[in-house]
Amino acid sequence: MPTRAIKAIFFTRFHHEKGSRVLHQVPEGSITPSKTPSALAEPLFSFESITSYLIPTQQFCDRLLTFCISKCRVIGYPVCIREGKYSRNEFIFNFALVVEEGLADWVAFGEVVRKLGRLLRGLEEQGGFLSGEEEGRGVWEDDGAGEEAGLGFGGGSKVYALCEMVLEDLNNYAECMIPIDDSNTINLKLFPTRPPPPPIHAHTVPLLTISLSTLSTPISSDLTLSRILPYINGINSVSHIAQLADTDLSLTRKAIQHLVYYSCLVLLDIFSFGAVYAPTAEIGGFIVDEGVKEECMRYVAVPRIRWGSNSNRGAKLGSESDRGRGGGGGGGDERSSSISSSTSQHSETYTSASGFPAATDADPAPSDSHPLTHDTLITLYTSLRQGLTLRNWVLDNLPLLSGIDIRRLITFGVIKGFLYRVHKYAIATSLNLPPAPPTSLQSGAQSTVGGGHAYRDSDTSTIRGHLNTSHITQQHTNANHHTNASGLHHKPSLASTTTHTTTNLFSPGAIAERQAEEVTRLDSLVSDGVEGGLPLVKFLDGMHCFDEICTELGMSEKAVEGKIRGVGEVQVFSR
Amino acid sequence: MALPLPPASNLQAILLVTKSRSLGPRLVFHYPPISPSAAALAANKAPVWFGNETSTGSVGSDSSSSDWDSSTENDGGDDDAEAGSKTSGGRTSGRTGTSHREEKKLRPGAGGAWGRQESIDEEDAEEGAEGGKAGGGARAMGGDRDWDTVLGFKVDALEKILCPGKSFNKRKFELGVESVVFVGAPMFVREDGLWKKRKKRRKRRAEERVQNGDLLANLALSDSDEDAASQDESKSKSKSKSKKKEKEDDFVFPPGFEPGYGHGLMSGAASGAVSEAGSDTRSNSTTNDNPDMTMFNVVFVLNPPALEYQLRTKNMYDNVTKKYAKALKYEQARFQYVWKESKRIIDIKQRAKENGESLSATWRKIINTSPLAKSLATMFDAISNDKIAHIHFDASFNTSFQIPQADSTPYLPNALEPQMPGLWLTTSNVVIDDDNDAPMTQHAALLLLEDPEVILKDIQGDKGNAAALAFYIRNIVPTKSLLKISNKHNILAQDMEFIAGHLVYWRRARLIAPLHPGDTYIVSPNADMSNMQAAISAYAMRFPTLPSLPKMLSLLSGNPKPYKSFIPTAEHRDAYMDILAWLMRGGWVTQLRTFAWVRVSPEIKAQVATEMEREAVLKKAEDARREAWDTESLNESLLSDKRSSFLSAGGATARPGTPLRRTRRDRESDDDNAGAESNMILSPRTAATGWRGSPARAASDAGSTSSARTTIAYPATTQRPLSPAQPSNTNTKPTHHPSPLHLNPTSPSPSHPNPSQTLSPTSPNPSLPSTHHPSIILSPTKASSLETRWLEKIGHTFRDPDLREHWPMLLRHLDGRHAIEDVSPREGLKRKRVAGLFGGVREGGWLVIVRHW
């Protein structure tokens, strides 16, 4: 909220004989010339030319009226009380304030003025708060006397005091509490206007920007909100959160929208190693800005450096680094506090740690005490590009990635806006529901993904293997499913290019990416696949990204891709 | 906010108010005839930021978001209700009841909502009940018969409040009633009863004509039937040229009467000529001493969302309200246009009202009768739909109005920001505020946003200019820069540029980097997916035999490759370039541009440091007082002694030999060090102060033996103690200081020079690369002296003489803000040549390269 935005506050009354007159103004002389020693030399604008807007016809009374004059914006709320006790049966006043014309968020002040106007109306109606002051004090006497009376009157007037206090308090503290009498208190606060929250899609990933869990009092009595909070960790998608918290999806979305509205969280995409990220035009800002690089370094660094010399890496790695990540989150970076609860959740995606064993295996020497430098960060970020999956990027840059939490590295870029997720879309050009043999078009689409298809697949399998081991140690549930899954993991060759299109539907190896929930769904998925991709078709209009399709259908990307190929001629493209 | 907001004029009505001696304030005309109530407008505030929501529909996102909207906005409704229940007088409560119900009813409808009878009726009924005045009965007849209220206000109150005092003459009139704002530009008659200054008018008009004639002159219209115009042609041409010079940097458009396509092109000439010929006499004759009308005010009624309030009102005032009022004033000055028309409109309304005719029928009649009313209607229909309004005032004066829209943005909005899908994503339109940058306009190509035929059809109305303009438009191709086109067709470059600016301003074209098969294009992340289905069929109509739109997008979404790799044969080239132009036009694709910075390797730094050290030493050696010292080594030891004491005093720098050169670079390297530390063990930064003057460092200095000329402090030393567990002698890298041959490295980077790795406590040679960190030179043109030396040094490493020669030129573009693709047109080199040069530098590993739009 801008401080000292209010330039003046004044109280105007309409007199049936004398016309409109400013009875109180703070500071003195800001609206009409005043002889007070402390008065401003020059009024902010000419009062005469705006009287018709301060005391308008009844049509415009009891509304918020604003108008601009001499680079000032006058915000008033003219009130007209019609009662027999007043002369001409009317009591018209306006308690207005003046701000800069260009003030962006003047609406907040408008709300204050509106509230004040209504309060004063109520006070006047209840006990003549305003009219009582005018009696016998000669406010309406003509000039000389009026001025003088006004002068003395300024000290004793409650309304004048109100003007003064509102101005000072709102300018200094953006809020005020002014007791009027035993039963009335004026409470005002400037609420900044916030942008409308975007619609929350089920496939977006919320990440808290402030630590809500450290607040001493619960932030809300909203049950949905309090249930989902522990699961908001920058990894889980909205629909996954709803599942984990056992809340209704639409309520969850609404609760998250609330958090977005109050800027408590940012929205990310679902992180996976199959995703593609590329720099935006703002990457230049990252390269130039030392501060951001420092911040990035703190955010992405895996605190444990020494594990490279550790001889028995392997089974424990996943959980260990995970814990480390949580611990690192606790110390310092506020954003990371939301991560600390993520220990058990990493099965959602590859944990970044699961890439490390490969790193050390490949190149143990540099991973020893490899310091993270700005240069490394720049090299890493600039080497991301369209058409390059994160998986391949990791393989390309393994030596540089030691000591770096890959997910955080990517997330940092997305949060700062210098990376963007390249989403994949599918569009059906012609539908033939019985699974069609792969056509030349599909192979064309394949080839654009890059020549190194086979290479990629074989390499993924190594990562997958590591991931798998960590899973064995960590997952104690779903034992039979798990063995099932791990067995499948060890058949990575299934996903090679040649067999891709034909066997994909039934090749469970493709489903390796989302583990916990996906594995349980394996059976239904396969049977679903046999029936054909009817629910899928509505997503094939080019408006639904793969994240969305996967979330909605509860399938892995590979599975979806496989089904899509069964649907007919479908073009897959990314933007 | 840097992000452009989606165009939304929020225009809800236009009112014309006059004040005359005979009739007083009078609301002459409003459009649309049946207006929504102000309360309804106030309630309808949801911004269009996320308009293109592509929900799956599986969850009731629509309902949820609209619920949400009503709770987030500061809506008057709730407050009103609250206050209404408190207050004793029934006035407010009646009003709020309306607003509440209206809110619910009108919410879904943004544009055409006010055609709805029922909501208006209800409003009227409410008003009738509430007001209890005589007019209540008449109003109860229904919206279409409601002659007494406009926007839910009584007409007499409204016309009074919209007639401001004389102090608002030519100023912005902005009156907000709740969140509805009335924006006007009141025009007052002068004291002498004229609408234009008499004395200076001749001169000013002449000048104005030149300005208006600009376009005409540039078009070189020989077949113009306007005498004045052709007469002035040569004169104004020379003038306009000089004016063009000033305008070259960015497209400035002549203020006031920019013509739009189809109407305006000759209006400038026409107005100029006619005004010259007719206005003097006519205005003199028609204005008498006591003019009836003293003021008119065209008021545009908007209901902008709170956050966009300033932007929307400013846009409306600056681009439409003010200009339109000026145009009207000009017409008024010429022949009492506004007042004559007003009287006519008032007359028709009066009769219709007496006959009890319906509003809509009357309005049709008025619009058909009065060009002024018609212009208001046209204006409203166009502007409220964010289109260009072509206004036809009278036979001799046409002009166009619009609120300009962004045609590109460098920012990709994130999920929380206002979305503008379909907006072209590029940095090529970003003006880099460098003094030495020539504008790119001449090197840009013009991409017509509509087919030439469509544009040509639109300008058919212009007898004279159409032919000339058609010539330009037909010759515009998106693959050739304006410069090339003008050279080829013998068109004056300024003319070309002016035409281009004109087309761009009036949303007929965009300036783009010339499309080239050698450039890389990607699917724009900002492409409008909701438009896909329509685009597919449009595309299929246009390119029936070529790969489909999804196929093309699919091709372009893989690994970024030059566009030519998608073109199957040379014969397909033109067709594929057409496709590319089509895709660019729709914002489906954008060019992937390359940006680069120079990365200075530690080796270079070490080398330069060594040289500088030697220079310093030599300088000292020349010093008379140092004559006694005849050997370099002695010199050196002294220096290092001196320095170490200096250092212990606490004022250490990395390069004490050249304290004056301590610039940003030094600070950066300090930062680097600190950064390296903190990321290693998360050690507190305070350590940084300790190690500089540490005895260990001094000792290592003294013990420097390997190099004959080494006097550089060794900040990296202390990284070792910070990581005690590090094996001390892991480094097996050669630590000799590099020769120039070494410096033409095969692979210094992009792999990651690892300073601490090469660190050896026994040979802390300051001229070793290991003492330095690679760094990036952010702006070679503003490089510090040290940075300049590095760059020079890098230049020396190039073996290719051509590259060496062009290195300074290349450097100008290696600041991460200039696209490498722009080098060729800017510097007048062939694309291949630039690619070769650039490739040479890149091979050396001197660049940090990033590609984005």
The confidence score (pLDDT) of residue B184 equals: 92
Q: Please report residues of B whose CB lies closer than 8 A to that of A379.
A: 749-750, 752, 848
Partner-chain contact B157 A571, CB within 8 Å: no
For residue B396 the two structure tokens come to 């001799």
Comparing A366 with B444, the larger pLDDT belongs to B444
> What end-to-end distance do the CA atoms of chain A give, in Å?
38
Domain shared by A38 and A158, yes or no:
yes
Q: Read off the amino acid at residue B589.
A: V
Of A372, A417, A575, the CB nearest to B524: A575
Of B167, B727, B776, the CB nearest to A46: B167
| Torsion, Cα of A388, A391, A393, A394 (10° steps) | 170
Domain assignment present for residue A563? The answer is: yes
Domain assignment present for residue A194? The answer is: no
The confidence score (pLDDT) of residue B495 equals: 83
CA-nearest residue to A293 within chain B is: B675
Helix (H, G, I), strand (E, B) or coil at B237: helix
Comparing A369 with A106, the larger pLDDT belongs to A106
What range does the domain containing A373 cover? 276-422
Q: How far is CA B830 from CA B375, B487, B597, B757, in A?
A: 52, 17, 22, 43
Buried b (16+ CB within 10 A) or exposed e, A199-225: bbbbbbbbbbebbbeeeeeebeeeebb
The confidence score (pLDDT) of residue B94 equals: 34
Helix (H, G, I), strand (E, B) or coil at B712: coil
Domain shared by A428 and A547, yes or no:
yes
Q: What are phi and psi of B699, to 5 degrees?
A: -60, -45
> What end-to-end distance do the CA atoms of chain B give, in Å?
20
Spatial distance between the Cα atoms of A106 and B567, rounded to a whole number of angstroms: 56
The confidence score (pLDDT) of residue A155 equals: 52
DSSP B310: H
Partner-chain contact B558 A279, CB within 8 Å: no
Q: Please report residues of B whose CB lies closer than 8 A to that of A372.
A: 675-676, 679-680
Is the Cβ–Cβ distance between A243 and A231 less than 8 Å? no
CA atoms within 13 A of residue A196's CA, in its CB half-sphere: 24
Tell me the nearest-neighbour CA distance from B329 into chain A, angstroms. 22
Q: Please report residues of B whose CB lies closer than 8 A to that of A374.
A: 672, 675
Of B88, B774, B778, the CB nearest to A125: B88
Q: Identify the CA nearest to A109 among candidates A64, A160, A163.
A: A64
Where does a domain end: A246, A268, A290? A268
Spatial distance between the Cα atoms of B76 and A113, rounded to a whole number of angstroms: 13
The predicted model gives A358-380 an average pLDDT of 59
For residue B471 the two structure tokens come to 């010539």
The confidence score (pLDDT) of residue A392 equals: 92
Taking only residues 196 to 235 of chain A, the set having a beta carbon closer than 8 angstroms to any beta carbon of chain B reads 196-199, 201-202, 204
Partner-chain contact A59 B154, CB within 8 Å: yes
| H helix intervals, B249-358 | 267-274, 280-286, 309-316, 322-335, 337-355
> For the segment B609-650, what is each residue's pLDDT rounded down to a tens digit?
888 888 888 888 887 665 565 555 555 554 444 444 443 443
Residues in chain B: 853
CA-nearest residue to A574 within chain B is: B557
> For the segment B391-416, what is each residue's pLDDT rounded down to a tens digit?
888 777 888 899 888 888 888 888 88
Domain assignment present for residue A539? The answer is: yes
CB within 8 A of B235, min separation 6: which ones?
A: B210
Domain shared by A346 and A438, yes or no:
no
B227-247 and B267-274 helices cross at what angle (nearest 10)?
Answer: 120
| H helix intervals, B429-567 | 452-458, 463-475, 482-489, 493-505, 532-542, 549-556
Domain assignment present for residue A467? The answer is: yes
Q: Per-residue DSSP letters for A443-503?
A: HHHHHHH-STHHHHHHHHHHHHHHHHHHHHHH--S-HHHHHHHHHHHT-GGGGSHHHHHHH
Residue A320: exposure state from Cβ atoms within 10 A (0-12, 13-18, ≥19): middle
Is the Cβ–Cβ distance between B573 and B739 less than 8 Å? no
Domain shared by A376 and A263, yes or no:
no
The predicted model gives A258-263 an average pLDDT of 88
Partner-chain contact A375 B58, CB within 8 Å: no
For residue B621 the two structure tokens come to 């050696």
Q: How many domains is chain A built from?
A: 4
Chain B within 8 Å of A370 (Cβ-Cβ)? yes
Mutation target vs B (from A241, A252, A382; most B CBs, 10 A cutoff): A382
Q: How far is CA A381 from CA A293, A296, A413, A549, B277, in A?
A: 11, 11, 8, 28, 67
Spatial distance between the Cα atoms of B208 and A188, rounded to a whole number of angstroms: 53
CB within 8 A of B667, min separation 6: which ones?
A: none
Spatial distance between the Cα atoms of A384 and A278, rounded to a whole number of angstroms: 5
Partner-chain contact A420 B548, CB within 8 Å: no
For residue A285 the two structure tokens come to 């800002």
Where does a domain end: A364, A393, A422? A422
Domain assignment present for residue A197? The answer is: no
Of A63, A66, A543, the CB nearest to B532: A543
Of B527, B752, B756, the CB nearest to A375: B752
Helix (H, G, I), strand (E, B) or coil at A180: coil
Neighbours of B471 (CB within 10 A): 12
Where does a domain end: A156, A189, A222? A189
Domain shared by A169 and A43, yes or no:
yes
Helix (H, G, I), strand (E, B) or coil at A186: strand
Q: Please report residues of A whose CB lies closer than 8 A to that of B754.
A: 366, 370-371
Domain shared by A20 and A163, yes or no:
yes
Q: Identify the CA nearest to B526 among candidates B430, B408, B428.
A: B408
Domain shared by A440 and A540, yes or no:
yes
The confidence score (pLDDT) of residue B50 equals: 67
Comparing A7 with B193, the larger pLDDT belongs to A7
Comparing B578 with A463, the larger pLDDT belongs to B578
Domain shared by A173 and A123, yes or no:
yes
Tell me the nearest-neighbour CA distance from B467 into chain A, angstroms. 41
Mutation target vs A (from B153, B850, B851; most A CBs, 10 A cutoff): B850
Q: Which of A42-51, A442-451, B299-308, B774-783 has the lowest mean pLDDT?
A: A442-451
The confidence score (pLDDT) of residue B260 equals: 43
CA pseudo-torsion sign B197, B198, B204, B210: positive
Helix (H, G, I), strand (E, B) or coil at A58: helix
Q: Please report residues of B whose CB lies closer than 8 A to that of A204.
A: 415
Q: Per-residue DSSP letters for B253-277?
A: --SS----TTTGGGHHHHHHHHIII
For residue B42 the two structure tokens come to 């106030």
Spatial distance between the Cα atoms of A24 and A296, rounded to a whole number of angstroms: 54
The confidence score (pLDDT) of residue A507 equals: 39
Spatial distance between the Cα atoms of B606 and B143, rounded to a whole number of angstroms: 84
The confidence score (pLDDT) of residue B297 equals: 92
A440-449 and B549-556 helices cross at what angle (nearest 10)?
Answer: 30
Is the Cβ–Cβ distance between A321 and B850 less than 8 Å? no
Spatial distance between the Cα atoms of A124 and A432, rounded to a whole number of angstroms: 76
CA atoms within 13 A of residue A560's CA, in its CB half-sphere: 28
Q: Give residue limits of the domains in chain B.
A: 11-33+166-195+287-392, 36-49+73-150, 614-735
Q: Please report residues of A whose CB lies closer than 8 A to that of B297.
A: none
DSSP A404: B
Q: Per-residue DSSP letters for A279-295?
A: E-TTHHHHHH-HHHHHH
Residue A128: exposure state from Cβ atoms within 10 A (0-12, 13-18, ≥19): middle
Is the Cβ–Cβ distance between A75 and A109 less than 8 Å? yes
Mutation target vs B (from A188, A260, A427, A539; most B CBs, 10 A cutoff): A427
Taking only residues 505 to 564 of chain A, the set having a beta carbon closer than 8 angstroms to any beta carbon of chain B reads 539, 541-544, 548, 552
Spatial distance between the Cα atoms of B36 and B119, rounded to a whole number of angstroms: 8
Partner-chain contact A448 B555, CB within 8 Å: yes
For residue A59 the two structure tokens come to 């049509």
Q: Per-residue DSSP letters for A390-402?
A: HHHHHHHTGGGGT
What residues pair up with B177 in beta bridges, in sequence order? A65, B180
For residue B457 the two structure tokens come to 């059809």
CB within 8 A of B565, min separation 6: which ones?
A: none
Domain shared by A367 and A305, yes or no:
yes
Spatial distance between the Cα atoms of B295 and B328, rounded to a whole number of angstroms: 12
Domain shared by A217 and A313, yes or no:
no
Which segments in chain B show pLDDT lower than 50? 1, 52-142, 200-288, 638-764
Q: What are phi and psi of A286, to 5 degrees?
A: -65, -45
The confidence score (pLDDT) of residue B3 equals: 66
CA-nearest residue to A192 within chain B is: B307
The predicted model gives A106-127 an average pLDDT of 90
Is the Cβ–Cβ distance between B17 and B159 less than 8 Å? yes
Is ipTM strictly over 0.90? Answer: no
Domain shared by A407 and A550, yes or no:
no
